[in-house]
Amino acid sequence: MLTNNPAMESKYHSKLNGDTALIMGMLALLIGVEGFVLYRILSETWEIAGNFFYLYVIFVGLVVVIEAIGCLSVRKSIKNHMFEFRYYD
């Protein structure tokens, strides 16, 4: 839904970009930290963990992929309803 008020639309899109940047920044940090920790622990314990490392890869993949898709859904929902529910007034 769009309005006939360009100033309001501009403000809303700016605020939406703020929400997007926040979530994308946190997702980037999540991927970086999970990758670093997984790499450091598995590389030090590879003699033991090498037999079942795929368990870690599967679950870290699930965490990151589901969370990333979830965040995209949150953004899509905010974008769809921001004018209807006047989120940023």
Partner 1 sequence: MSENHESGSLVKTLRPFHVWALGVGIVLVGEYMGWNFTVAKGGVLGSLLAMLVAGTMYVMISLCASELGSATKLAGGPYDWARLFVGPGAAASVGLAVYMEYIALEAADAIVVAFIAQSIFPELQVFPVTLLVIALLTFINYRGVVAALTLNFFLTMIAFIAIVIFFFATAFGAVDIHPEYLFQGALPNGMIGLFAALQFGPWFYLGIEGAAMCAEECKHPSRAVPLGQQAGMITLLIGAAMTLYLCSVLIPTDMLGVSVYPLFEAAQNSGVFLFIAALGLGTFLTCIASANGCVCDSSRSWFALSRDHYVSSWFSAVHPRYNTPYRAVIFTMPVAIGFAFSGFLDQVITFSIISGLLCYVLIPFSLIRFRNLFPETTSKVRPFVGPLQPFIAYFAIAIAITILSTLFWGYKYNLIFGFVFYGIAYFYFSHKHKTSTAENNWAEMGWPAPKGSEIARTGKEVMGVDE
**Helices 53-81 and 6-44, interaxial angle, to 10°?**
170
The structure tokens listed for 68 are 């990333």
Q: CA-CA distance, 3 to 48, in Å (whole number)?
A: 60
Task: By CB under 8 A, tell whether 12 contacts partner 1.
Answer: no
Contact pattern from residue 14 through residue 53 relative to partner 1, giving x for each residue in contact according to CB under 8 A and a dash for the rest? -----x--xx--xx-xx--xx-xxx-xx--xx-xxx--x-
- State the chain's maximal CA–CA distance in angstroms: 64
- Minimal distance, residue 17 CB to partner 1, in Å: 14
Q: Decide: is 87 part of the binding site for partner 1 (CB under 8 A).
A: yes
Q: Name the nearest CA neighbour of 86 among 27, 21, 14, 9.
A: 9
Interface residues with partner 1 (CB under 8 A)? 19, 22-23, 26-27, 29-30, 33-34, 36-38, 40-41, 44-45, 47-49, 52, 55-56, 59-60, 62-63, 66-67, 69-74, 77-78, 81-82, 84-87
